[in-house]
Amino acid sequence: MSTEIPQPPSQPGMAERAIDAAADVSHSIGEVAGGLRAAVDRLTHVIDEARKPGKPLSTVAAITREAPLASLFVAFLFGVAIARRR
């Protein structure tokens, strides 16, 4: 018979905990970056669709080219109206 006292499992040292925390942060950053990449891809697709002839961004771009000062004035008034609501 052995009279050895069983040792409790050793606690991870500070270095191991730091490595685990860094790995968790790295994994989280990767997930966030993937989500941002997907969001940018969707936004790019929507903008490309809206720029096609007859779509809203195409119309706004044409109006802005024809009357840039009037478009700027309308955008300014729109901004003022939104700012006053808040």
Q: Is the pLDDT of residue 75 over 70?
A: yes
List, for residues 19-71, the tens digit of each pLDDT value. 888 888 888 898 999 999 999 999 999 999 988 998 988 888 898 899 999 99
Predicted structure pTM score = 0.51
pLDDT for 16 equals: 85
Listing DSSP states for the chain in one string gives: ---PPPPPPPPP-HHHHHHHHHHHHHHHHHHHHHHHHHHHHHHHHHHHHHTSTTSHHHHHHHHHHH-HHHHHHHHHHHHHHHHHH-
Q: Residue 35's pLDDT is what?
A: 94
Is the pLDDT score of 74 beyond 70?
A: yes
The pLDDT assigned to 11 comes to 66
Confidence grade of residue 13 (pLDDT, cut at 50, 70, 90): confident
